Amino acid sequence: MVFNLDFDSSRVSFPHPELADDDGLLAIGGDLSVDRLILAYENGIFPWFSDDSPIMWYAPHERFVIFPENLKISKSMRQTLRSNKFKITVDQAFIEVIENCAKINRKDQDGTWITADMIHAYSELNKVNYAHSIEVWYNNELVGGLYGIYINQVFCGESMFSTVSDASKAALIYLITHFKLKFVDCQFHTPHLASMGGTSISQHEYLSILTEQHASKL
């Protein structure tokens, strides 16, 4: 069943994630305010829509995640990391990362879900220390990175980009190995993330881990 959300910012709420339809769609409408987005991620819900559609909120019944202890780093990637080819920073170029994620060409994808409204909303989350970016630099040029939401020691990855081979992998590995995380939420399965140790868990398990403690910030 898909619910219609109230636009009244004084009554921010969501139906329980388990009520999402088979495709994970839970609700339509509402806004992208900081309070609503934080509440969404605290409950395993995220927005995903395009410019020509209303705001759509998803809570998939199965989630694809990477637990730190399951991270797989290939021999060639370890060599790349040891070479110090890349310089990696945190929250030094958030807007640049999200804009690159929005414009990068992706196989079998027409357009982007990272709209101008989404960029503004997540920039506001970055200002209050909930949204974060990992940047990868090569010869002082931004060549890769990722961004997402950190809440309850879970990093909800939103998107990544790479203009140089292995740059996005380097960002993900840095995230997992340098911060205290229960897991990285990759949302959906991809062969690339599966090769790095990704695994599927149920919505119930996801929410149980996510809500083990009160909200925390990176």
pLDDT digits (tens, 9 = 90+) for 93-148: 999 999 999 998 755 544 467 999 999 999 999 999 999 999 999 999 999 999 99
* 55 and 91 together in one domain: no
pLDDT at residue 7 above 90? no
Residue 68 is predicted with a pLDDT of: 97
**Residue (of 180, 51, 38) closest to 110 by Cα position:** 51
* 104 and 12 together in one domain: no
* 39 and 144 together in one domain: no
* 57 and 104 together in one domain: no
- Write down which residue in 12, 45, 61 finishes a domain: 61
> Domain span at residue 166?
64-210
Structure tokens at 181: 């995380």
* 51 and 98 together in one domain: no
Task: Please count the CA atoms within 13 angstroms of the CA of 108 that sit on its side-chain side.
Answer: 1
Over residues 167-194, the pLDDT tens digits come to 999 999 999 999 999 999 998 888 989 9
Residue 76 is predicted with a pLDDT of: 95
* 22 and 103 together in one domain: no
Helix (H, G, I), strand (E, B) or coil at 158: strand
Q: Is residue 217 domain-resident?
A: no
C-alpha radius of gyration, the chain, whole number? 17
* 21 and 71 together in one domain: no
The total number of residues shown for the chain amounts to 218
pTM above 0.85, yes or no: yes
Which residues are within 8 A (CB) of 211 and not within 5 positions of it... i.e. 6 or more apart?
42, 152
